[in-house]
Amino acid sequence: MATNASNNILRSLIKKEKLSETNFIYWHRNMRIVLTHEKKLYVLDEPLPEAPLARAPAAQRNAYNRHLNDFVEVSCIMLATMTPELQKQHEGMIEFDMIGHRKTLYKEQVRHERFDVSKALFSTKLSEGSPVGPHILKMIGYDENLACLGLPLEQ
């Protein structure tokens, strides 16, 4: 029962703000949070495997069916959290392709976001007499934000 409640709380995250033409980065981040919690993040990162042959072992067929069910569920979640205009554009697409399509369209937005976060990170300075803790947390936040935007900083 507690798992169901936490699923509903997390899903409310993505239902609150539907994907529009301008908020892909935030929507995608929230989608990844929810799917990570539900152990279905692989659906966004991997295409659906080929269906096993009818004579394949039952375990292999069952695993494929679980994957297929996860793909259908994630696809429905994604479509339900888009504006009606975007739903029309993505009907019939599988979720892996939906994300790829949106990433292509929002590449420029992501590039600008990376620039803004990088600029903020590299221009942040600890003011004399200020505590170090909050400054470190701020820097870590910038670093994590860059990693989410596909620009992880190396050690």
Are 80 and 94 within one domain?
Answer: yes
Q: Tokens representing 34? A: 């929810």
- Asked if the structure places residue 6 within a domain, the reply is yes
- pLDDT > 60? residue 2: no
- Asked if the structure places residue 48 within a domain, the reply is yes
CA distances from 126 to 103, 138, 146, 152 (A): 35, 10, 20, 22
**Cα gap 146→153, rounded to integer Å:** 8
Q: What DSSP state is assigned to residue 124?
A: -
Range of the domain at 25: 2-105
pTM of the complete model: 0.61
- Give Dmax over CA atoms of the chain in angstroms: 71
Partners of 82 in beta bridges? 19
- pLDDT > 80? residue 37: yes
- Asked if the structure places residue 70 within a domain, the reply is yes
Are 121 and 75 within one domain?
Answer: no
pLDDT of residue 4: 64
- pLDDT > 80? residue 43: yes
Are 119 and 81 within one domain?
Answer: no
Q: To the nearest whole number, what is the mean pLDDT of the chain?
A: 82
pLDDT of residue 55: 93
- Asked if the structure places residue 82 within a domain, the reply is yes
Are 51 and 99 within one domain?
Answer: yes
Q: Please indicate whether residue 67 or residue 105 has the higher confidence score (pLDDT).
A: 67
- Domain total of the chain: 2
pLDDT-derived band at 65, boundaries 50, 70, 90 = very high
The count of other CB atoms within 10 Å of the CB of residue 34 is 21
pLDDT in tens, 94-140: 666 777 777 777 777 777 888 888 999 999 999 899 999 999 999 98
- pLDDT > 80? residue 30: yes
Q: Are 27 and 14 in contact (CB under 8 A)?
A: yes
- Asked if the structure places residue 153 within a domain, the reply is no
For tokens 């990844």, the residue is 32
pLDDT-derived band at 1, boundaries 50, 70, 90 = very low
The residue count of the chain comes to 155
**Cα gap 92→153, rounded to integer Å:** 37
